[in-house]
Structure 1
Amino acid sequence: MTNPKEMIVAGIMSGTSADGVDVALCRIRLSNSDTPHIKLIGAREFRYPKAVRSAVLAAMDAKSISVAEMSRLHWRLGEIYAEAVEVTAQEHGLKLDLIGSHGQTIYHQGVASKYLGRPTRCTWQIGEASVIAEKLRTPVVSDFRPADLAAQGQGAPLVPMLDYVLFRSEKVSRILQNLGGIANMTAMPAGASFEDVLAFDSGPSNIVIDGCMRRLFQKSFDRNGAVARRGRILRSVIEQLLRDPYYAAPPPKSCGREQFGEAFLNRLLDLCHRSKARKEDVIATTTALTAESILNAYRKFVWPHLGQKAPMAKSIEYVVAGGGARNSTLMQMLREGLEPMGVRVRSTDDLGVPTQAKEAVAFALLAWLTWNNLPGNVPTATGAARPVILGKVTRA
């Protein structure tokens, strides 16, 4: 490996929940152990303006949308990302060397289906990188997922590279759980090698809870899980929804609004209506669905992996990040399911990374790797045939 220089890198993340933009400023260099050393300097959250969020959500779930509308949204998001990074860098008085922009996922299909006579997989993240590079006069790495898909991977999850670099432990087995729009987890046995990393999307998280809150309460999300706490969990509804083949499919696997968007939401609400559910019951049930799908994935896929790879591990830690970490009702459900199995539940805050900043830090790292011609995917997580260099570089 060459000796990459230390760089100040901004990571930008806007997730499946489409609620806004997270920016993380990181100092990244090569450590003595030949792995990246990451220091988080600062992080900031920016909410999408209401009209922008509505446009993003409409584009995600659209059966069809005009080319003009999509092009305008692509450029408008580039402006929003540039402004968010500029504000954050100015607050910390930093001159950036590089920016990594995940973009806003509009469509993600990690499993091939037939299109125009050929099996096709695809992904699309928008937010014009040239706008960011020009406004900040800084090179930008963007469009991270296609290279992994081209190498026969699913293009997701990509955060496991950060999990391995930052949270791997010699003595403790760790599950890094992101509770964003989609719930995804990275399992690393104690003393894990790169090939021991298991990661996958377990199913929906905030996208279903938030969707029901918008439909029933005209609110963006269930603050602190307060509405779910007042409701009754409809176990029969959860049992029917958990029959979806996605949950039983083995990793590697990834999902998004394509599986758990408006059509799924309509089905869930119809099942709840048949059960004569109150509005609060619907939110309690969607929250419990997230918890149950995660717990089932842990029992079915993660626990056997940890036991096989690190049978003598002293302890298991379940480390949570993402917006769902602020939902105390969801967190209580996860603790009640995991702690009797001897799993300690923590947040990334305990390990030095704010829960909302983790994915933005991940894309700062992935940008740094790309800039230095180093692979960024974890093939055991995505199913790719080989490690590949991710993203496209736009120079200022």
Structure 2
Amino acid sequence: MNVQIQHLYDIAQKTERRIIGLMSGTSLDGLDVALCRISGSGPDTNVILEAFATVPYADELKADIRLIFAKDQINFEHLCLLNPYIGRLHGQMVLDCLQTWGIQPDIIDCVASHGQTVYHAPKSQHQKEKFPNATLQIGDGDHVAAVTGIITFSDFRQKHVAHGGEGAPLAVYGDYFMFSEPNENRILLNMGGIANFTYLPADGDATNVFTTDTGPGNTLLDAYARQFLNKPYDEDGLLAASGTVNNALLQALKSNAFFEAPFPKTTGPEVFNTDYVNDAQDKSQTQALSNADLMATLVQFSAETIVNAISRTIQGKEICGNANSHIFRIYMSGGGVHNPVLTRTLQTLLPDCTFGRTNELGINGDAKEAVLFAVLANESLAGGRTSFGKREGVPSVTMGKVSFPA
């Protein structure tokens, strides 16, 4: 047997594994690096987050990625060059974090690398009959493995697409394994560039669990913060707080078939970008809005589309505030939790539900998505026995391609 395959087999037999999860989202802030100690699998998965860091991307790297990010036409050579470059960069970031934490690479069982999404094209979006759902993440796993010397799982989303999913969101799998709780209906709301949530019913039935995108989270807010403030985001929502929501623009922004499509569904900055906002302003004749009013309206847009999706999910179900019912609790994570205007609006629009943060569940909310990919790698190694039913978009599959370091 090849020594690398034997090593992989030995890791799979262990009662506990140390796995580093890597995540870089559409906000392009940087690479989240989560060192996890994981035992069990499936619903018996137990995760301890031993260390976490976000390694910021340099402005030059952000600019390089934006040349190809969510664009229909790109320089193909630039894409080709970035694929190994980002893989090697992520590998070095892992080594730098391990050195900072005083941990030797040889005690790490594997790396679980999401890569950097550069284009997301579900069939509902591209509308080309002969082509399936598609998504593309770069940062090749072979290069991560070669730089770190650690077995690497990567390219998780392709198996999901191959079995009829849209390649996202994948949080349904990790959220169910880590955060389901008997007698409490839960919404795990992640507000990254695109907002998504996982529904975890109190009965623990995996066939009723799903994750869906809701629309923009921070992607439009951050785009206009760069334009108006020359900053990566609207700190503490101060610009939005100083403005007034324009209802005409808000209704134009919400006039997209995506918002009424059935769950689960996915989207991305390919749809929700500054061109989308410009079109909505043209339709609503609001081109002269002040910066503050535009930002306030965009926050309301994110909040209302999140709330509408959650309301559709809990409609007709027992929710908090009803006598003798299970509590329906919303746990928030992602960059949006740091925007008080956004979080206050959510709570105002959902007064019958209680809100908390993922930190209360034992996992740092900022680390949650990186931890997810560590859990997915663990499931590929030691699990794969949980059925999520026959629903479209939630295939019962294990995910991740294996790259050996030599």
Decide: shared fold, TM above 0.5. yes
- 2:305 maps to which of 293, 297, 300: 293
Kindly tell me: are residues 240 and 268 of structure 1, through their superposed partners in 2, closer, same or farther at Cα, counting changes over 3 Å? closer
Do structure 1's residue 152 and structure 2's residue 131 form an aligned pair?
no
Give the corresponding residue for 2:8.
none
Tell me, yes or no, if the aligned pair for 1:114 and 1:120 is still in contact at 8 Å: no
Do structure 1's residue 24 and structure 2's residue 38 form an aligned pair?
no
State the number of aligned residues: 388
Rounded Cα–Cα distance in structure 2 between residues aligned with 1:290 and 1:298 = 12
Equivalent positions of 1:169-208 (< 5 A) are: 169-208=181-220
Give the corresponding residue for 1:54.
63
Rounded Cα–Cα distance in structure 1 between residues aligned with 2:37 and 2:278 = 44
Rounded Cα–Cα distance in structure 2 between residues aligned with 1:186 and 1:239 = 26
Tell me, yes or no, if the aligned pair for 2:252 and 2:280 is still in contact at 8 Å: no
| Cα shift readout 1:93-150 (whole Å, capped 9, x = no counterpart) | 33311000111111112225565x7233211100121221111110110001111111
Unaligned runs of 5+ in 2: 1-11
Give the corresponding residue for 2:72.
63
- 1:357 maps to which of 340, 351, 367: 367
Q: Match of 2:94, SS?
A: helix
Give the corresponding residue for 1:77.
86
Per-residue deviation, 1:373: 6.0
Tell me, yes or no, if the aligned pair for 1:211 and 1:265 is still in contact at 8 Å: no
Per-residue deviation, 1:49: 0.5
Kindly tell me: are residues 281 and 318 of structure 1, through their superposed partners in 2, closer, same or farther at Cα, counting changes over 3 Å? same
Equivalent positions of 1:28-47 (< 5 A) are: 28-30=38-40, 35-47=44-56
Unaligned runs of 5+ in 1: none
Rounded Cα–Cα distance in structure 1 between residues aligned with 2:250 and 2:317 = 26
Give the corresponding residue for 2:269.
257
| Cα shift readout 1:271-301 (whole Å, capped 9, x = no counterpart) | 6772631111111111111001011111123
Equivalent positions of 1:308-319 (< 5 A) are: 313-319=325-331
Give the corresponding residue for 1:348.
358
- 2:23 maps to which of 8, 13, 20: 13
Tell me, yes or no, if the aligned pair for 1:269 and 1:282 is still in contact at 8 Å: no
Per-residue deviation, 1:270: 4.4
Kindly tell me: are residues 390 and 375 of structure 1, through their superposed partners in 2, closer, same or farther at Cα, counting changes over 3 Å? farther
Tell me, yes or no, if the aligned pair for 2:206 and 2:387 is still in contact at 8 Å: no
Rounded Cα–Cα distance in structure 2 between residues aligned with 1:188 and 1:124 = 28
Letter in 2 for 1:134: A
Do structure 1's residue 221 and structure 2's residue 233 form an aligned pair?
yes
Calculate percent identity across the aligned residue pairs: 30
Give the corresponding residue for 1:232.
244
Letter in 1 for 2:236: N
Kindly tell me: are residues 74 and 61 of structure 1, through their superposed partners in 2, closer, same or farther at Cα, counting changes over 3 Å? same
TM-score by length of 1: 0.91
CA RMSD of aligned residues (A): 2.4
Tell me, yes or no, if the aligned pair for 1:161 and 1:376 is still in contact at 8 Å: no
Tell me, yes or no, if the aligned pair for 1:214 and 1:220 is still in contact at 8 Å: yes
Per-residue deviation, 1:35: 1.9
Per-residue deviation, 1:56: 1.4
Tell me, yes or no, if the aligned pair for 1:10 and 1:23 is still in contact at 8 Å: yes
Rounded Cα–Cα distance in structure 2 between residues aligned with 1:124 and 1:27 = 29
Q: Match of 2:133, SS?
A: strand
Tell me, yes or no, if the aligned pair for 1:156 and 1:382 is still in contact at 8 Å: no
Give the corresponding residue for 2:7.
none
- Give structure 1 regions of 4+ aligned residues with deviation exceeding 3 angstroms: 2-5, 112-115, 268-273, 302-307, 310-313, 375-382
